[in-house]
Structures are given as structure tokens and as C-alpha cells.
Structure 1
Amino acid sequence: MKSMNRAAPLALALPLLLSAPGLAQQAIPETIVTATRIPTEAERVPAAITVLTRADIEERGYQTLAEAMATVPGMNLVQGGGLGQQASVFIRGTASRHVLVLLDGVPVNDPSEANGAFNFGNELLGDIERIEIVRGPGSALYGSGAIGGVINLVTRRAPAGVPVQVFGDVAGGSQGTARGALGAAGSLGNWNYMVMGQGLTTQGSDATPSRFRADTKETEALRAGAGTARFGWADGTSMVEGLLRWRENQLDLDNIPNDDPNYEGNDRRWFGQLRTETRLFDGVWTTGLRAAVTEDRRRYINLPDARSSASTDDLYRGQRQTLDWGNRVRLGDVGPFSMAGLAFGVTHERESVDATSGSPGFRTVTDARASSTALHAGVQARLGDRLDLSAGLRQDLAEDYDGFLSWRAGAVLAVPEVASRLRVSAGTAFKAPSLYQRFGRIGSFFRGNPDLEAETSFAWEAGFDTDLPIFGRRDGATVGVTYFNTRTNDLINFNRAFSSLENIEKASSQGVEMELRLRPARWLETRLAWTITDARDEVTDAPLARRPRNVVSAGARLSPTDRLVIAPEVLFTGPSPDTASYDDSGNFLSGVRYNKSGTVLNLTASYRVTPAITAYAEGRNLGNSRWEPANGFVTPGRSLLVGTRFVF
């Protein structure tokens, strides 16, 4: 892939909601909410975007956010075990800490995580209406952490004109699994509401590979719950809305390379936000205020047992407070430009961490807080009848590092003569040093470095999408190809004495995302995605860990009748380099070694019994693959879940 030296991503799409989705009651599946907060057709946005709707989540049987992310082009999901276990996402070869996750437009990465990475294994999807994934740099819109991409979870909203709608889901199956959800939503005059609770319990499967001679076949259980409440008022020109979301998981854990019956964890998050929005000058200018708070609490306990006399009691507490003033202005026609729009605003964030972990002789302590303020602006417009242009700029001002100026720009050219769209974009992004990296302490021999600078990147991408007129329809097939290229600098790592941290690393990643969709019949649609990635340490030229060269996913939607939907899905992951490996006796192996490739087959079938009731069956890993996404942790074994969901 050395020859592929020019290309790549800009999640320039100024997507998702700067201040959440306007005054509309529900996001429009065919559009992306850009930084201008003007719903824009996805094909007009200069970025590689994947949107998973509520229908996709249900028809494909996704229970958790990790399951939903596994087949997205450009991504590699690495989960250390089954449901609820730690799961990391690597986008286009960048680090897992370089993925920014939003909930209704608000960052929710846990400040108490040492690197600021997000755990994708925690989130249930019962209250999620839509997931927007933008690959490439997004710091010009969202600030720190958006080097590899941005993922926005959009929660369910009240249906317009319906006073009361009751919805839910109940299911059970193998591995002692039971799942349930119940909610109500509606609109009463100017008022709207949505309340929902969901839960999942499972005995799980053995996360320790059977190749380990010390494997005891112990399973890792999960008990997860979540609740969401939204209340709002809107009169057509103004709105006020409040959202409260709670999520808590209780889970069993393992130590590599041995099962550990006394190791368990608790992970809880509270999220709340209050926002208001007003349209001025006949809707030309929309201005809004938002205040949001996220509180994370994680505790891991491991009591002494026959296998080990060690004792663990780790506690992590992190909080993020966000204040945002966002604006969008519809400029209309300006000289040679049409459909012009402007977005601008100010965002202030404050993070705090109080964490202690490790054994008494190797105790890690972080007790710190920091604030930052950002000024941001973005524009988009159409030039002529074919060319869409967009650009953005953001200045982050931090109290304990130098801050960063991010930019992005891109263009989409429509070529209707051949039913194609050409995209090109470029931009910069950054990841601020975490509070642990700046102020953490380990015993008396390690101190964080308060003088660390931000990790930075430059990325660009170029690609096209083309509809082919076959199978008797104009879009019988859609072909998409995107080449991406990312350079990251000032990456943070340990100094030579392992006494602190420094900005000493550089990395590069480049590759191609290829997608093919076929629609050979009204009742059949297939999709195939193949991502080739070459990610390397720029200093040593060694491959970066957990970035496989090849990831291929395939899926289909078969609907032979109006009531039946069958959704098979296959995920192939090629050999993946790893720097933490173990032999069959559980001995640690130094150096870079490759995990074997693996293939997982899933199948979900749904049957609409009545207009309000749908029965379904979800089969996961039907081939019972024992593939290890992370060395020492095997993918969950074969499982089957049957259930029903309803909407009244």
C-alpha cells in the first residue's frame, strides 16, 4: 500500500447536530444534519457517511452499539469477550482514542478513561432512533478526539400528532439471555414526551479461548439497564427540551490468560441536557442554547481466591459539563452561490476526573480538572447546478495546553450523465492530552506531563459513488470507492525511562473503502463492503496493532412477502497485528504477532404478525467461530434469541 500515497478522509461532512435536530420531531433518513443545521441530502455532503436507522437496528438484530459498528466500512471493532465487555473501534487505522462519540450532539467519551477512548460494549440500543457515522477528521466541528471520525447516537423522539404511542420489546434465548424494553411517547398540543426503560441479562459465554490449557469454561455474565426521559415544548418558532438518560451495567470480567470467578465490574453513566432554540426573522436565523452534564462512574473489584491472592478495587469517576451557543443562518442566494448557509457558535467544556486503580504498590491516582472554550464557524453553498462546497474553522482555547486551530473543506460534484457523485475533502483534527496523561501519578515513579501538546492529524480523501442501470431500474447497483490518507503527529507515549509521557510518536494510515449494493429484485437488496488499510508507525515502519489489512462485510435484506424480512450478515476480518499475545500455555509473547483471521455469520428473521406486532429470531455467530478479535479473548459463541416487539 506504499504506492497509495494520496487519499483520504475528511469527515468533513459537517454532520449530525450541532445543537441537536432542529425543531423537527424526527430525523429524515435520507438526509444528514450538517454543521449548518440544514437537513442536507447525504449525497451532497463531502464525506464518507454511514447511517443506521431504527429499521436497520431491528431488522439486523443489533443489541448493542458494538454489534452495530462491526460491519461499518472503514472500521475495525475489537471486543474483549461477549456482550457488555470492553469494545474499541479503530477508524481508518487511527487509534481507538481518536473516535469521538456524541449523544444527541453532545460528546460522551469518559474523561476518566486514561486515553479518553469510548467503550462501545456498554450501550444498549432500545432508545436509539438513528446512528450517524462520519469517517475522517471532525475536529473543525466537534473539537478534541475527532481524528478518526465522529459517531452520533440520536435518541428516539415523540411522533408528531400522536397523543400516546406505546412501544416495547421482549425476548429470550440461549446463554440464559432475557431482554426487554417498554416505552411511551406522544405529542399533546405544543407538548411532547418520550419515556423508556430497557434491560438485558445474560449468562454469556466463555471469553477465554479453549486453546488455553488453563481455561475453566467459566462464562461472563452481564446485567444491563437503561432509562431515558425526554420532555419538550414547541410552538413552531421556539422550543424548549430536556433529556435525562441513565445507563448501568454489572458484568463479570476475566484476566488473561486465566478465568477469574471473583472479578466483576460496574459501569454507570448519567446524562442530562436542557436546550432551547428560537427562529428569528421568519426562520432565516435560528439560535439556540444548550447545557449538558455527563457523569461516569466505573468500579472494578477482584477479591482473593484460590487462583490468586491479589486484590483489586478500582474506582473511576469522570464528569463533563458542556455549555453551547449555536446558530445557523439561511443565506439563500449569494452572488453565484445558491442554498448558502452559515453556522457559528461558542462551546465551553469542563472536565474533571477522580480515579484510583491498581495494587497498593502500583497505585494509579488521577485527581484533576480542566476547561476549554471553542469558537467555530462553518459555511456551505452550491455553485451552479452541480457543485456543493463546504468549509469550517474552529479554534479551541484550553487552560492547560496550547489549544488547536482545526479546519476542513470539501466539495461534491454531481455528474448526472453517468449517475455519479465525485467527492474530495481535507482537514485537520486533534486529540487533547487526557487528564490522566497530564496529571496522573503511579506510585512514586511516574508522573503525568502537564506540558503535553495535543495529538494532531492531517487527512484527505477522494472518492465517488455511481448508480448503474441494471436489473430493470436506474439504481439497480450502486458502487462506491473512497481512498483515504491520514497522518498523525505528536502522538503521546511513555518516555524512555517510563517515568512520564511525551509527544514522541508519528503514524500514518492509508487505504481504500469499497462498497457495492445490488437491487436485483423488489424484495432483495444486498450490500458488500471491503476495507483495505495500511496503518504504520512512521518511526519504526511496524504495523499498528489491531489494524487488520482486510475487513470484509456482506449483508442482505430479503423480503419475499410484505410481512417477512430475512437479514443475513457475514463479517470477515483478516490477520491482525497485536503487541499483546499469549501462547496456549498462557505465556506472554513479546513483539508484534498476528492474530488469525476470523469469520462470523449472523442471521435475523422478522415476521409482522399484525400491523402492531412483529415476531423475530436473532442468530449470532451461527458457525460458532472461535476467532480472537483481541489475542486472549474469543468471540462469543453461537446464540439464538426469539422475541416480539410491538407499537400501539
Structure 2
Amino acid sequence: MRRLSAALLCGLSALPSAAPAQEAVPDTIVTGTRVPTPQERVPASITVLTRREIEERGYQTLTEALTAVPGLRVAQLGGPGQQASTFLRGTNSRHVLVLLDGVPLTDPSEPNAAFNFGNELLFDVERIEVLRGPASALYGSAALGGVVNLVTRRAPPGRAFAPYGELAGGTQRTLRAGAGATGTVGAFDYLLSAQSFSTRGFNAIAQRLPDTGERDGFRGVFTTARLGWTPAEGTRIEGLLRWRQNNLGLDDVPRDDPNYSGEDRRWYGQVRGETRLFGGAWTTGLRLAATEDRRRYVNLPDSLSASTADDLYRGTRTTLDWGNTVRLPAVGVLTDGALGFGVTHAFEEARSASGSPFFRTTVDATQRTTAGYATLQYRLGERLDLTAGLRHDATTGFTDETTWRLGAALALPELRSRLRASGGTGFAAPSLFQRFGIIGDFFRGNPDLRPERSIGWEAGVETDLPAFGRPAFATTSATYFRSRIRDLINFNAGFDTLENVDRARIQGVELGLTLRPAAWFEATTAWTVTGAFDAETGRRLPRRPEHVVSVTARVRPASKVVIAPTVLFTGRSPEGAFASYNDQGVPFPYQRSNPPGTVVNLTATWQAFDQAALFLEARNLGNSRFEPANGFATPGRSVLVGTRFAL
């Protein structure tokens, strides 16, 4: 119920370690163009988090891993498992598409079609790729603000059995354990991975509110299995199955309820085949993927309330995708040409029932989407990379959508610089709830809603600065971005349906500085300045702070020791939720803005043995009570110690 209320009320708001880790294609990016391309030649803003970085910085959830990404602001309502939203370059949380190995993960039964970033653990993830800017020409709906692609671990060649694992425990009765193995045996390769994570947690309700909160614990279990077969060079068939279940206590405001709990399950599977034709010039592949989400939230009667809630959400998605990459011959000064094209078909279904008898909310609906896309890229004069993309999506019941994207990346080795510019359009289709949802006898969804649409562009430069005998003593970067969004979905004046009524304008700059004064020290500062406004009223959009700064460092004082501190500063932001909330006649202590806050984390790793390491992960060292969202404070100070191995 709380999640549905937040979705309704928010409106507009609403990818060598201590122990060796396997690296999957570390020098190329697929997310940015759908064609494997070196990162420096991708004409888009991309951040890549490798397995080494995930471990050295102690990231255990996807939310943690994204906090230091430029242009991205995370707002989580508590600890692991709690609702976590991301605002990428000022766009709504539902405007960020999340993929697992290229397959969408969003739950179709989520009322606002927004992904909950607080649910994902990272033990089976090899890398995280974050693409910023409109990418619907590549991935369709929801990629209006950008894409987050989780790439699972891969088997190393030439090793029949490569086990890995970790065990850690700490404050708040936290226990984290994981074990896995990968290997290649002849023409076959495999991955087996399992992780469990439990914690007593914190009371995330802000101290300024009535003290009725309690600790909200979390228990999560993840398992992943992959089997691949390579019968001949260039031909591969693989199947992947992933399951997770999270059980958690839920915080609520302004009065927390100790009996409010949730269970969140997901099955994910895919079968994929790929082969090369015509001497490797043409790669074609077919993939069938399916996800099934089941979420249940229960609130039993207690001294605070006699009411009972039993909310159930079920969402399924089946995707069939045919993708191709054709390497093109040189044409004059144009080289390294590639044409990508394909067709994808998705079937989505949502079944949900939640809320009280008066405020009963139900959805029972399906929809199908068929899309065709094409991308083209060439290199001019060995230094200018040009890309173009076009996609057409047709969804049952509303207007088709055609999106495009253009980009260029220019290498200037004489100046040790790289220039980048891109622009395109994006869209986010209305959710099944927005089209077909029912609330009591006073609200009906609008099946005639149009997709939310955007147009945006960016331009940036990155420069390496030599000093003190080091060719890249420092790297500076600056990217300006601008976008306009129209047809945003919100309630009509009578609150009895939804309409395309809102518009937004967004601009900002992402500034970066990386210093490498010595081989044992590297520090990166990312400063994002964002102006996100309602185009009608001129007011700032909720939960989009003007300033977000992150400082990450990798310090190696000894050959076997790595220290990774992180400082995260979030500036003041307007708050849009709970403005008119009342509880038993007592007005909610509503803040019109969320004050700024700073959180300091630290991870230290000691490579005690060649194949095993000890680590310490300390979170929120200053015990900050910063509220990323109105009424919900950052979880308090915690420490976790453990060991990690890879044989």
C-alpha cells in the first residue's frame, strides 16, 4: 500500500581484486551502441563498474554501486530491499531501464513502471554499465533517461573448475555469505552461484517524527546457473536461470507499523543462440527470455491500527529477440563499419490487488509490443566515430513510437583529448496500472494515454594532463546535457483518471577530475549540477538536488593492501511526497525540501594469501541522519568484516 501511495502521490517524481575476479570483455562496451565497441569510441556518457571495483568498494547492493555514478541521484526509503528510486539526469525513476544481460527487469505489475533498485545484490554480477541520456532508439520504452545493464559473471577459458566465495558478518547482526564456481570443460562452460544476506537493519524513520519506528530487517537469497555450449568457433548456445527472494520489514511514515512486512520474488531465465556467418562478417542470434515477479505486502492488526492489509502483485514478461551485427567493408576514408539490426517482441501481464476495501486497487491486464531497430556506425580518418540509430515500437492499444539517436566521438591525441556529442529521442510507455488500473469505484485508468516523450542532447570533453613524469597525472572531464520531456502522466483535476498533462525541462553539467599522482594512489571526484523544472510552473522537480558530489579513491599503501574511501554529498532538493498527508487528524511534519547531507564510507582489503583476502566494510562512518526522501533517514553506522577467496 505504501509503495502504491508513493507512486500515486509523487506524480512527476514519481555494471586484480583482493581475490582475483574474472573480467568479461573489459575493453569493450555493448550497452552504448548494441555493437561491441571500445569505450573511448562510444559517443555517449558511459560509466563502467568492474568486478574489482565492486569488491574493493564493498558494494553489496545495486543501490550502493550507483551512488557515485555521475548524473545519477539515488533516493532509498531505508536499507536493503526498501524502495529505491534513481533520477538519472533529472528524469523520473521510471525513465531508467534496467537490464540483466540485455533483458529488461522491470516488474510489469509495478504501478508506475519504475524499477526498485534496492532489491538487487551483486555477487553474480561481473560488471555494471550505465548509459546516460535517451536510449530508446536502442532499447525502447523506459530508456528515456538512460540504461543500467547488469552483466553476469563469465567462465574463464582453460579452467575446468574455478571456485570463489565470501563470508562476512558485522553489526546489526548482519551475515553475508556466497559461494560459486565457473569453468570450461571441452565445448561446455558453466556458472553456479548462490548468495545469502541477512541483517537486523535500522529504524529508517527520521528522528524528528513520532518515535513509533522499529528496526526493519532484511533476508535475501540469490541463485544463478548458466550452461553454455560452443560446438564450433563463432557458434554458441547458452541458458541462464536466476532466482531471488527477499523478505523484509517495511518502514512507513509518519507512524511506522511493526507488523508491516514484504516478500519479493523473481524468476528470470533466458535461452540464447548465436552464430557467425560468411566468415564471421555477420553475427546473428536468437533469444527467448522470461521474468516472473511476485510481491506480497502484509500488515496485521496491532495496537496502532486494527486494519489488515494483504497486497499481492504478480507481473510477467516474455521476450523474443532476434539480433544481428554485420561488419561492413571500408568505403573510402570510412572504416570499421558495422550495421546492427533486429526485431523484438514482448508480452507483459500484470495481476494485482492491494489496499483497503474502500481504496481497493486492482489490475488485470496484458499488452504486447513489437519493435524493429537498426544502428549504423563508421570511423572516419582513424579518429572520428559516427553512429546512428532508429527504432519503431508498436504496442497494443496506443500510438506507435519512433525514436532516433545520433552521435560522434572525436579523438584528439595531439591534445590528449576526446570530444563527444550525441542527441536523440526517448519515450516511456504508460504502465499497465496507468492504462487499466481500478481504485474502488472512483478511479479508472486511461487506456488512451500517450507515451511520455523526450528529446535531448549532450556534448562533452575529456582530457589527460601529464605532470611529474606521468602521462596521465590527471584526467578532467566536462559534459553538458539538456532535454525536454512532454506528455508526462499525472492525475486529472478530479483524481478519477490519468492524463498526459505535464512537461519538464532539464539541463545540467557533469564535471569530473581523476588524480593519479603515484602508482599507489588514485582519486576521482564527480560533481553533477542539475536544473530540473516543471515547464508549466517553473518549480524544481522533487528529489532532484541541484548539486551531487562524490569522491572515490583507491589507496594502496602496501602491495597487498587496498583502502577505498567514498564521500557522498547530496545537496538540498525539493520534496513532493506526502504534502497533504494527515494521520488521525495530526498533520504530517512535512518538509518542503530535503536538507543537504554527507555520507562517508570506507572499505579496506588485505590480500592475506594469493587466493584469499580479508576485508572490512564500514558504512556511514559519521552516523549521518541525512534524509534522501522526506521522513526516511540514511541507515546508521555499520561495520562488516569478512573473507573472500577465488581459487
TM beyond 0.5: yes
Q: Distance in 1 between matches of 2:427 and 2:31?
A: 20
Contact 1:471 1:521 in 2 (8 A): no
Query: What's 2:237 paired with?
Result: 240
User: Which of 110, 119, 122 is the aligned partner of 2:119?
Assistant: 122
- Rounded to whole Å, the distance in 2 between the matches of 1:246 and 1:562 is 38
Extract structure 1 runs of 4+ deviating beyond 6 A.
Answer: 582-586
- 2:632 is the alignment partner of 1:636: no
Q: 1:578 and 2:553 equivalent?
A: no
Tell me what 1:615 maps to. 614
Query: Deviation per CA, 1:354-373, whole angstroms, max 9, x where unpaired?
Result: 00011011100000000010
**Secondary structure of residue in 2 paired with 1:250:** strand
- Displacement after TM superposition at 1:336 (Å): 2.5
1:481–1:122 CA distance, 2 compared to 1 (3 A):
same
Q: 1:321 to 1:583 in 2, by over 3 A?
A: closer
Asked whether the equivalents of residues 471 and 519 of structure 1 are also in contact (C-alpha less than 8 Å), the reply is no
TM-fit CA distance, 1:77: 0.2
Cα distance in 2 between the residues matched to 1:585 and 1:561: 57
1:219 aligned residue (215, 221, 227): 215
Superposed CA offset, 1:278-316 (max 9, x none): 101110000000000000000000011001112111000
Contact kept? 2:31, 2:131, Cα under 8 Å: no
Structure 1 CA distance for aligned equivalents of residues 589 and 489 of structure 2: 21
Structure 1 counterpart SS, 2:53 = helix
The Cα offsets for residues 389-410 of structure 1, whole Å up to 9 and x where unpaired, read as: 0010000011111120010001
Change (3 A) 1:446 1:36: closer
Match of 1:429 in 2: 426
Contact 2:581–2:588 (CA<8 Å) still a contact in 1?
no
How far the C-alpha of 1:30 sits from its partner, in A, is 2.5
User: For 1:255 and 1:77, how far apart are their aligned partners in 2?
Assistant: 19
Report the aligned-residue RMSD.
Answer: 1.6
CA distances 1:491-530 after superposition (whole Å, capped 9, x unpaired)? 0111111110111110111000001000000000000000
Whether the aligned pair in 2 keeps the contact of 1:581 and 1:632 (CA below 8 Å) is: no
Counterpart mapping for 1:512-531 below 5 A: 512-531=509-528
CA contact (8 A) 2:594 2:630 kept: yes
The separation in 2 between residues aligned to 1:545 and 1:70, in whole angstroms, is 18
1:20-45, CA deviations, whole angstroms, 9 ceiling, x for partnerless residues? Answer: xxxxx963223212576543221111
Identify which range, 515-524 or 41-50, moves more after superposition: 41-50
Aligned with residue 358 of structure 1, among 355, 359, 363: 355
Supply the distance in 2 between the matched residues of 1:182 and 1:365 (Cα, whole angstroms): 40
Deviation (angstroms), 1:237: 2.1
Match status 1:270 vs 2:267: yes
What's the secondary structure of 2:138's corresponding residue? helix
Check whether the contact 1:425–1:460 (CA below 8 A) recurs between aligned residues.
Answer: yes
Distance 1:121 1:150 in 2: 16
Could you say which residue in structure 1 is the equivalent of 2:7? none
Paired amino acid for 2:216: E
Q: Deviations over 1:148-169 (max 9, x none)?
A: 1000000011111100011001
User: Secondary structure of the equivalent of 1:465?
Assistant: strand
Q: What CA distance in whole angstroms lies between the structure 1 residues aligned with 2:51 and 2:549? A: 23
* Deviation of the 1:585 alpha carbon: 11
Q: What is the TM-score with the length of structure 2 in the denominator?
A: 0.95
Structure-2 residue corresponding to 1:75: 72
Give the match's secondary structure for 1:361: coil
TM-score w.r.t. the length of structure 1 is 0.94
Does the Cα contact within 8 Å between 1:93 and 1:535 map onto a contact in 2? yes
Work out the CA distance in 2 between the residues paired with 1:580 and 1:39. 41
Aligned partner of 2:18 in structure 1 is none
Paired with 1:374 and 1:607, the residues of 2 have a C-alpha distance of 49
Q: State whether residues 53 and 131 of structure 1, in contact with CA within 8 Å, keep that contact through their aligned partners in structure 2.
A: yes
Q: State the match for 1:228 in structure 2.
A: 224
2:516/2:522 contact within 8 Å kept: yes
Is the Cα–Cα contact under 8 Å of residues 257 and 582 in structure 1 kept in the other structure? no
Partner of 1:408: 405
* Distance apart, 1:229 and its partner CA: 0.1
Which residue in the other structure is 2:481 paired with?
484
Instruction: Return the letter of the residue paired with 2:282.
Output: W
User: SS of 1:282's equivalent?
Assistant: helix
Deviation (angstroms), 1:581: 5.4
Deviation at 1:619, TM superposition (A): 0.2
User: What is the rounded CA distance, in whole Å, between the counterparts of 2:262 and 2:491 in structure 1?
Assistant: 28
Report whether the alignment pairs 1:378 with 2:386. no
Tell me which moved more, 30-39 or 232-241.
30-39
Q: Unaligned stretches of 5+ in structure 2?
A: 1-14, 16-21
Matched letter for residue 206 of structure 2: P
1:338-362, Cα deviation, whole Å (9 max, x unpaired): 0000000000001000000110111
Structure 1 equivalent of residue 593 of structure 2: 594
Once residues 252 and 591 of structure 2 are traced to their aligned partners in structure 1, the CA distance between those partners, rounded to angstroms, is 21
Give the alignment of 1:83-232 within 5 angstroms.
Answer: 83-212=80-209, 214-216=210-212, 218-232=214-228
| AA of the residue aligned to 1:389 | L
1:66 paired with 2:63, answer: yes
C-alpha distance in 1 between matches for 2:332 and 2:499: 49
User: Is the 1:79–1:629 contact (alpha carbons within 8 Å) kept by the matching residues of 2?
Assistant: yes
Q: Which residue of 2 aligns with 1:9?
A: none
Deviation for aligned residue 1:580: 2.5
| Mapped partners of 1:65, 1:163: distance in 2 | 30
2:429 partner letter: A
Of 502, 507, 511, the residue aligned with 1:505 is 502
Structure 2 contact 254–588 (Cα < 8 Å) conserved: no
Name the aligned partner's letter for residue 623 of structure 1.
Answer: G
3-state SS, counterpart of residue 82 of structure 1: coil
Question: For 2:68 and 2:27, how far apart are their aligned partners in 1?
Answer: 20
Instruction: Tell me, yes or no, if the aligned pair for 1:211 and 1:584 is still in contact at 8 Å.
Output: no
- Pair 267,118 (structure 1): closer, same or farther in 2 beyond 3 Å: same
CA contact (8 A) 2:213 2:255 kept: no
The alignment partner of 1:362 has SS state of coil
In 1, Cα distance between the equivalents of 2:367 and 2:90? 29
- Where does residue 546 of structure 1 map in the other structure? 543
Counterpart contact for 2:591–2:630, Cα < 8 Å: no
Kindly indicate whether the alpha-carbon contact (under 8 Å) linking 1:35 and 1:343 is maintained by their aligned counterparts in 2.
Answer: no
Segments of structure 1 that go 5 or more residues without pairing to the other structure are 1-15, 17-24
Once the two structures are aligned, what percentage of the paired residues are identical?
59
Q: Supply the AA of the counterpart residue of 2:624.
A: S
Deviations 1:107-143 (A, max 9, x none): 1111111111000000000000000000001100100
Deviations 1:38-70 (A, max 9, x none): 432211111111000000000000010000011
Contact 1:34–1:40 (8 Å) recurs in 2: no
- Residue 337 (str. 1) matches residue 362 (str. 2): no
Cα 1:555/1:471, change in 2 over 3 Å: farther
C-alpha contact (below 8 Å) 1:581/1:593 kept by paired residues: no
Q: Distance in 2 between matches of 1:417 and 1:443?
A: 67
Which of 271, 276, 291 matches 2:288?
Answer: 291
Structure 2 residue 40 is the aligned partner of structure 1 residue 55: no
Partner of 2:604: 605
Residue pair 1:99, 1:145 contacting (<8 A) in 2 also: yes
SS at match of 1:346: strand
The residue type equivalent to 1:497 in the other structure is G
Given that 1:62 and 1:68 are in contact with CA atoms closer than 8 Å, whether structure 2 keeps it comes out as yes
Within-5 A mapping of 1:4-83: 27-33=24-30, 37-83=34-80
> In structure 2, the residue corresponding to 1:333 is in which secondary structure?
coil
Contact 2:32 2:44 in 1 (8 A): no
1:454 to 451, 456, 475: 451
- 1:474 corresponds to: 471
Classify the secondary structure of the residue corresponding to 1:121.
helix
| 1:420-466 deviation line (CA, Å, top 9, x unaligned) | 11111100000011111111101111100111111000000011000
| Structure 2 counterpart SS, 1:449 | coil
- CA shift for structure 1 position 470: 1.5
Kindly tell me the number of residue pairs found equivalent between the two proteins. 624
Distance 1:251 1:591 in 2: 26
The whole-number CA distance in structure 1 between the counterparts of 2:107 and 2:60 is 22
Mapped partners of 1:252, 1:38: distance in 2 = 42
